Amino acid sequence: MTTNLDQHRANRRAKFTILSFAAIFFTYTFFSFNFNPNIFIPNNKLKSTSPTLVHNPILVLQEEPIIIQQYSKNLDHLIPKNQTLKNNQQLPQFLDIFNSNHEFETRVDEFFKHSCKLRFFMTWIKSSRSSNSNLFGPREFLAMDALFKSNPDGCLIILSNTMDSDHGFQILKPVIDLGFRVQAIEPDYNFLFKNTPAKNWYKRIKNGSRDPGEIPLAQNLSNLIRLVVLYRYGGVYLDTDFIPLNDFNGLRNSIGAQSVDQFGNWTRLNNAVLVFDKKHPLLYRFIEEFASTFDGNRWGFNGPYLVSRVVERGGGKLENKFSVLPPAAFYPVGWGRIGGLFRRPVDRRDRRWVEAKVVKLKEGSYGVHLWNKQSKRLRIEEESIVARLVSEHCVVCSRLTPNF
């Protein structure tokens, strides 16, 4: 009798142990797979958008790994409720980014008076207390340098509170000395935001009634500035980690898809490259969305996700007024595979592949987004795809070093 009772208790303990282990395993698996933003569907489930997709040991061009969607077609639930700031900790530390240059309008008008085939804009907003460099580094210089190789008749304004300085001018001087037109100008926010929904957002951020969130305010301010400057002047906006490869002159009112599904329909847009006419209605909708749904605690919410949800929700009414370009136009390599562009080929077969891909990029893309968030610590290795593109698309080639 005692033996049977002991055996029964032992069986119960074993079952409890097994159930406990299963519960722990399930909990670990659930949290690992539901809260990791970088989870990919296995490669054997990838569906190519191109019948001629070429696989290679370094990377795959014109195909992005299918990501378990952070972006949903039903995006209304992503819109946050307006929140009044209770403990504004970030704003006092970054208030200097709101310094305004009241000569901005005059200087821009003067700059554009002269011959300018196409207007380009970049932003470089930094706090004096930022841990990152306040001025252009080699990577940013490369983006500007390559722009004038492919668009020599263009004019570039860098909206920046730090590059509009003597030191900033010295960084730009090698390009200016070659006759190219580039100038850094500190923005005037009151002027840029005037008569747009951005004005009220700006007022509330400054007086502390709108929470700037934990994401650096300069990053979100850049997302807004690119919209308002194109709305006011028209032209092309480029991120400083985008390497132009071809002439933009034939583009108008275009935004690029970052990814597409197996049917070629876009699943996510991106705001790293924007081409729009002055006062385009879609730009106004973007600005309106930024001001009304701003969330400073969610990366990408006020940038790529913003343009995606606005176009998905109401862009159809404007579909004859703008174009969505395929990923090959601006984002031929996804952020998850950008590292392959920096690696050197290891054998003759790889070298032939690199050569073919360089040709394909130059012929099929307006440029390459380097996804600096993922690639900023990568060194450009000799004979790599990026090394080839850099050496063939520079006007101040003496400034290029292996340490980019």
pLDDT mean over 290-308: 95
Task: Report helix angle 281-293 to 217-233, nearest 10.
Answer: 150
For residue 297, the 8-state DSSP code is T
Residue 238 is encoded by which pair of tokens? 């480029």
- Is the pLDDT at 198 greater than 60? The verdict is yes
Q: Is 379 left (phi over 0), alpha (psi -120 to 50) or beta?
A: beta
The pLDDT-based confidence of 390 (bands split at 50, 70, 90) is confident
Decide which of 3.30.160, 3.90.550, 3.30.300, 3.40.50 is the CATH code for 87-332+392-399.
Answer: 3.90.550
In this predicted model, which residue has the larger pLDDT, 95 or 246? Answer: 246
The pLDDT-based confidence of 89 (bands split at 50, 70, 90) is low
CB 307 within 8 A of CB 226: no
- Three-state DSSP at 355 gives helix
The backbone torsions φ and ψ at residue 237, rounded to the nearest 5 degrees and listed phi first, read -100, 135
In this predicted model, which residue has the larger pLDDT, 378 or 180? Answer: 180
Cα(28)–Cα(30) distance, integer angstroms? 6
- Is the pLDDT at 26 greater than 80? The verdict is no
**Confidence (pLDDT) at 130:** 56
Q: Which of 30-44, 143-157, 309-323 has the highest mean pLDDT?
A: 143-157
CA dihedral 347, 352, 357, 363 (to 10 degrees): 160
**Can you point out the beta strands (E) in 196-350?**
235-238, 242-244, 254-260, 266-276, 323-325
**Confidence (pLDDT) at 94:** 59
Cα(32)–Cα(40) distance, integer angstroms? 12
